[in-house]
Amino acid sequence: MQPIYQPKDIEINAQQHWDIRNTFRATETSGKPKYYCLSMFPYPSGKLHMGHVRNYTIGDVLSRYHRMKGYNVMQPMGWDAFGLPAENAALANNVPPAAWTYSNIEHMKQQLKSLGLGIDWAREITTCKPEYYRWEQWLFTRLFKKGIIYKKTASVNWDPMDQTVLANEQVIDGCGWRSGAPVEKRDIPMYFFRITQYADELLQGLDTLPGWPEQVKTMQVNWIGKSHGCEIYFPHDMETVGSGGMLKVYTTRPDTLMGATYVAVAAEHPLARRAAEISEKNELANFIAECKRGGTAEADVATMEKKGMDTGLFVRHPVTGEKLPIWIANYVLMGYGEGAVMAVPAHDERDFEFATKYNLPVKHVIASGELLDVWKKLEAQFEADGYELNREDLDTMGMFAYLSIVLMDLPTPSEALIEAVHEFAAQLQLESPNTQYGTLVCSGNYSGMDFQEAFDAISTYLTAMGLGKKRSQFRLRDWGISRQRYWGCPIPIIHCFTCGDVPVPDEQLPVVLPEQVAITGAGSPLAKMPEFYMTTCPQCGKAAKRETDTMDTFVESSWYYARYASPDCATGMVDERARHWLPVDQYIGGIEHAILHLLYARFFHKLMRDEGLVQGDEPFKNLLTQGMVIAPTFYREDAGKKMWINPADVDVKTDDRGRPVGATLRADGQTVIIGGTEKMAKSKNNGVDPQAIIDQYGADTARLFIMFAAPPDQQLEWSDAGVEGAFRFLKRVWNFANAYENDLHTGIQCMRTNANPVEWKAATKQTLDFRRQVHLLLKQANYDLCKQQFNTVVSACMKLSNLLESNLPSMVSSEDIATYGLVSVKEAQWYAFSEAFSILLRLLSPIAPHITQTLWQELGYGDDILTAPWPEVDEAALEQDEIELVIQVNGKLRGNLRVAKDTDNAALERFALAHEAVQKQLEGGTPKKIIVVPGRLINVVT
RNA sequence: GCCGGGAUGGCGGAAUUGGUAGACGCGCUGGACUCAAAAUCCAGUGUCUGUGAGGAUGUGAGGGUUCGAGUCCCUCUCCCGGCACCA
C-alpha cells in the first residue's frame, strides 16, 4: 500500500480496473431489475464546465449507489451537437462547424473519462451524425402526413442590415448583435408541431409524476396555462376583414363584461390593418410600423411601455349595444387568444394602466368586502330618502361618474345620504384596479350575482344570442421548429410547384447536411448551395426545391433518451430494447430546462407512443433538477468599464476573524474590487476550470467537494478553500487505512470467521456504544440518500471517520479483559472497527469511487467495491436503555434529563419539576401545564 | 411585466418536516511538533453581557397562530432561474 495518497495513480488504476472488465457495459439480460439513469447530455462547447461536473457526478453517484443496491444500471452519454455556438465559432475562427464540434467532443470525452464516470460508452450518441438525425427526419415525414406538423407564418427577429434572422440571444437592447441595427419583427413561413393538440394530456400527465419536483410541475402547469372563460363577439361595421362583422375576444372574466369600456387589438390584427387602410392620416400606419420595431422576446414585449392608438372605429357592446372604441395596443399579443381583448380598466391591471394613460373611462362593476357593504348602505339610503337611482345611467356612466353628478341634481340630499356617498367614494379604489372576484354591481340584470352565477348567466345569454360561448384556452402555443440556420437537422420537405410541400420519401432519407460550407453570418449557407437545394419532386418528378431551413435543436434533445436503448439500430428510431429500458428511471439536469426541454421531451414521447414506437405515457419517472454553480467575481474599473478578473488570479485578504477586507491581483499586488457571487460565465470571467482541479487534486476530490458544498437542487458556490478541505478528508481516510492496516485486517478476519456477528453481549459498553453510533450515522446517511441529499451523506462519512479516529481498537482496559476475557472483547472490538470502516468506504464509494475501490481491494475487503452489497442498518445495534430528554420552561431550554427509555409520562413530569433549573424558574409557583413529547422533551408552562 | 425558487455565524451549509438553531466542512484565533516553514495534531470560535457559573439575544424585514416557529399564515424587501430562435 502506498504510504501517501496519490490520486493520479490510484485513479488511473481504478479506471483501468473497470475498463478491462467492461464493468459499465449495460445489457438487457442481467436478470436484475433495470435502472436507467440519465443526465442531460452536454452541448459540446469546447471544455467541460463546473455545471457539467456537478450534473454528471450526481448521475454517477445515483448509478453506483443503485448498482450496489442490486440494480442493472444503464448510464449512457452523448452529445447535443447541433446549435448556434458552432456557427459563431465558425465566424470567429474560420473553422467549419462540423470540425469544431467533433474536436470539442473528442476533448470533452477525455475530460468526462477522467472524472471516473460509470458510463456505457458503447451507447454514445452524437446528434449531428446522419445515423441519428435520419430518424428524426423519418418521424417528421410521418407527422407531416398526419397533420401533427403544419406550416404557417410567424414572427421572427429580423436584422435589416445583415439581412438575417436573429435568435433572441442575438438581440441586445433591441439591436442586432453584430450589425448594431435596430431589430424588426418579420413574418415568415415556418413548420409547427401541433403541441396544443396534446395540451390537455401534457397537463394531466403531470399528476402521474410523483417523482418530479413540485416546482417543475407547477411551472409546467402555468406554462400550459389552461384557463376557463368565454369567447365574446363584439359586432362592428368592418365586413371586409373576413370576421363576419364581429370582433372576437377571449376573456377569463366574463363577469366583468358590463365594465368593458373599450376593446384593444394587437398591431398585427386584421382590424388594425383595415383601420390603417381606411384612415386618411398616416398615424395609424406609423403606429403599426412602430409596433413592428423591437424583438419578439416576451420579456421585452411585457416590460415595454404600454402604448396605443385609437382607430376611430367602434364595436357594439354585446349586451348594452353601447358603442365602444377600438384601440390598437402594444400590450395585446397576437399569439395568445384572439389577438384582441375587451378592456375592463376597473378590474384589470394592464387595462387600468392603459386607460389611465389615455383617459379612457373606468367602470366599477365588481364589489367585495367593505366596498360592497358601503354600496348596499348607499342604495338603502337612497331608498330611505325617497330617491330612485337611475339604473340605466348608473350602468352606462359607472358608479363614480354617476354619483358625482347625482348629488348635484338632488334638491335636498339628507346629511346621511351625503355621508353615505362620501363613505362610498372613500372606499372605491380609484388608484388601482380591483382584480379579485366579488359581487356584481351596476351590471343591469346581473347585479347581485357572484362570479360563478354571472359567468354562467352571461355565457348563457351570449350563446343564445350567438354573441359568444364558454370555452377553455391554453397559454401554450404550437411549437415552431423552422430555423434559418445551417448547423442543424435539415427539414425533410421538397417544395414542388405542382404538388406543393412534399415530404422526402423514406428511401431518400437521410437528407444529409453538407459539412463543407462557408459561414458568412448573413442568411443560411444552405440557401446559397444549389447542389443542396436543387432536386426533383418525389411525386411528379419535375424540378423542385429542397427546404433549406433546419430544425430547432430542441427536436434532437426531445428523443435522445429513447435512442440510447438501441443506439446502433439501423432499421428504425428505436427497437424492442426501448421496451426494456424505458422509461428513464432517474433524469438529472439543470433547473433552467424545467419548462421547454422537459415539456418537448414529454410531448415527443407521446408522439412516439402514438406511432407505436415506445410504450407508456411519460419518458422520465423521476427528475432531479440541479442548481447552478456560482462563483465570486472580481473586477477593476478602467474609464468606467469593468475589467473582470478570474478568481484564480486573485488573493483575498481577511481580518483576524476571517471577514474579507480586500483583494489583490496576484500578478501585481494591486487592489481589485470584490463583486457579487454570480453564475460562472465567460462574461464575468469567474469560471473555474474543472480540469485544473482534477489535475491538481484528482477526480475524487472534485466530486467530493461538489457533492459536499450544497444539496443538489440548490445553487452551489465554488470555493477553492473548500476543495482543499475535501482533499484533506480523502487524505485522512487514506492515512487512516495505512496506519491501521493490520488492525483492519484482523477485524476483517473476525468478520469472516463470524458468519453471524460475534456475540455482542460479550462486547464492552464502549464497543456497543461505538457500534450504535456507527449504525446511527449509517441510518442517517441511508435516509439522506433516499432524499437525494448528498451533502449530508458526505457529512456522515466525515463523522464516521472522526468516530473511527477516536475509537481505536487497541483501547481495551484491564477491567474489560477481567470481565469478558481478552479474546471476545478484542474480537468484538476489531469486528466493529473493521465493519465501521467498511461502511465508511461503501458509503463514500459512489461519491469518491477511486480511493474507495483502491482501499477496498488493498485492505482485502473484496475485489470490487461495486459488487459489495450496500450497507444496511443493524437495528439491534441502535437499541439503548437510556435516553436523553430536553427540559424546557415556556419553550426555552433549561436543562437535560437522562432517563430509562420506558419511563412513563407521570414520572417524567415529576423528574422535570424536581429539576434544579425548573425549580429556579418556577420560584415556588405551580406550572399551568406540562407538555411531554415522548422521546424528545418536557415543556413546563408557567 | 408574468411564472417558479431562494434568504440561517466571517463563508458553504445542517436541523429526523412544529420540539435542544448553527451538525459537518471551510476560515479565523491560540497551542503542540519543527532550527524554521509547510504538513499534521489538540483546543476555542453566532452576537451582547459577566471574572465566572450564568443571563439576554439571535434564522432577510414587519405582523400573526402556538405551550413551543428557521419550519405554518399574512404583508414587504432583495437575489436567482425561465419567458417559446442560447442550450
HEC letters along A343-394: ECHHHCHHHHHHHHHHCCCCCCCEECHHHHHHHHHHHHHHHHCCCCCCHHHH
pLDDT score at A390: 79
Handedness of CA A502, A507, A511, A516 (dihedral sign): negative
Strand B proximity: list residues 570-629 of A with CB under 7 Å.
Answer: 591-597, 628
Q: Is the CB of A303 under 7 A from strand B?
A: yes
Q: Which nucleotide is nearest to A681 (CA to C1')?
A: B86
From residues 124-183 of A, list those within 7 angstroms of strand B by Cβ: 156-157, 165-170
Closest CA to A865 of A878, A876, A854: A854
Work out if A660's Cβ lies within 7 angstroms of strand B.
yes
List all nucleotides in chain B with at least one atom under 7 A from a protein Cβ.
1-6, 10-15, 17, 19-21, 23-29, 39-42, 47, 55-56, 67-69, 79-87
Cβ pair A897, A935 in contact under 8 A: no
The three cell numbers of residue A495 are 417544395
> A656 CA to B48 C1', in Å?
20
- For chain A, give me the number of helices (H) and strands (E)? 32, 37
Question: In the prediction, which pLDDT does A643 show?
Answer: 78
* Any strand B atom closer than 7 Å to A927 CB: no
Please tell me the distance from the alpha carbon of residue A858 to that of residue A23, in angstroms, as a whole number.
Answer: 19
Give chain A's length: 942
CA of A790 to C1' of B26 (A): 18
Residue A171 (CA) to nucleotide B2 (C1'), in angstroms, measures 21
Kindly determine whether the C-beta of residue A553 is less than 7 Å away from any atom of nucleic acid strand B: yes
- Output the pLDDT for position A813: 59
Residue A708 CA distance to nucleotide B21 C1' (Å) = 21
Å from the A883 CA to the B81 C1': 45
Could you tell me which residue, A423 or A769, shows the higher pLDDT? A769
Residue A260 DSSP symbol? -
Over its C-alpha atoms, chain A yields an Rg (Å, rounded) of 36
Using a 7 Å CB cutoff, list residues 187-226 of A near strand B.
188, 190, 214-215, 218-219, 222-223, 225
Residue A239, pLDDT score = 62
Q: What is the pLDDT of residues A350-386, one digit of tens each?
A: 898 899 899 998 888 988 777 888 888 888 888 888 8
Query: In this structure, are strands A184-193 and A149-159 parallel, antiparallel, or unpaired?
Result: antiparallel
User: What type of residue is A484?
Assistant: Q
The ipTM, to two decimals, is: 0.95
A529 and A551 Cβ atoms separated by less than 8 Å: no
Query: How much is the mean pLDDT over chain A?
Result: 89
Scanning residues 822 through 881 of protein chain A, those with a beta carbon under 7 Å from any atom of strand B turn out to be: none
Cβ-based neighbour number of residue A741 at 10 Å: 15
In angstroms, the Cα distances linking A276 to A237, A266, A330, A360, A519 are 15, 13, 15, 21, 41
Q: How far is the CA of A936 from the C1' of B68 (A)?
A: 13
pLDDT class for A455, splitting at 50, 70, 90? very high
Q: What is the dihedral of CA A326, A331, A336, A337, to 10 degrees?
A: -30
Q: Is the pLDDT of residue A471 over 80?
A: yes
| Under 8 Å between Cβ of A39 and A688 | no
- CA of A228, C1' of B64: distance in angstroms: 35
pLDDT of amino acid A233: 95
Paired with A930 in beta bridges are A940
Distance CA A249, CA A341 (A): 5
Is residue A919's pLDDT more than 80? no
Q: Mean per-residue pLDDT for A737-755?
A: 83
A671 touches strand B (CB under 7 A): no
- Joined together, the cell numbers standing for residue A152 give 404557417
| A464 CA from B17 C1′ (Å) | 54
Q: Among A324-333, A539-548, A903-912, A915-924, whose mean pLDDT is lowest?
A: A915-924
**pLDDT of A822 over the 70 cut:** no
Asked if pLDDT for residue A818 goes beyond 70, the answer is no
Q: If you average pLDDT over residues A288-311, what whole number do you get?
A: 89
Span A138-148, pLDDT tens digits = 999 999 999 99
CA/C1' separation A12–B36 (Å): 37
Q: Which ranges constitute the DSSP H helices of A698-764?
A: 699-708, 720-739, 741-753
Strand B contacted by A554 CB (< 7 A): yes
Gap from A742 CA to B55 C1', Å: 52
Lowest mean pLDDT among A226-235, A246-255, A664-673: A664-673
* Contact flag, residue A676 CB and nucleic strand B, below 7 A: yes
Nearest of A85, A6, A72 to residue A33 by alpha carbon: A72
Confidence of residue A821 (pLDDT cuts 50, 70, 90): low
The alpha-helical segments, DSSP class H, found in A583-643 are: 596-610
Question: Protein A939 CA to nucleic acid B56 C1', in Å?
Answer: 20
d(CA A732, C1' B58) / Å: 35
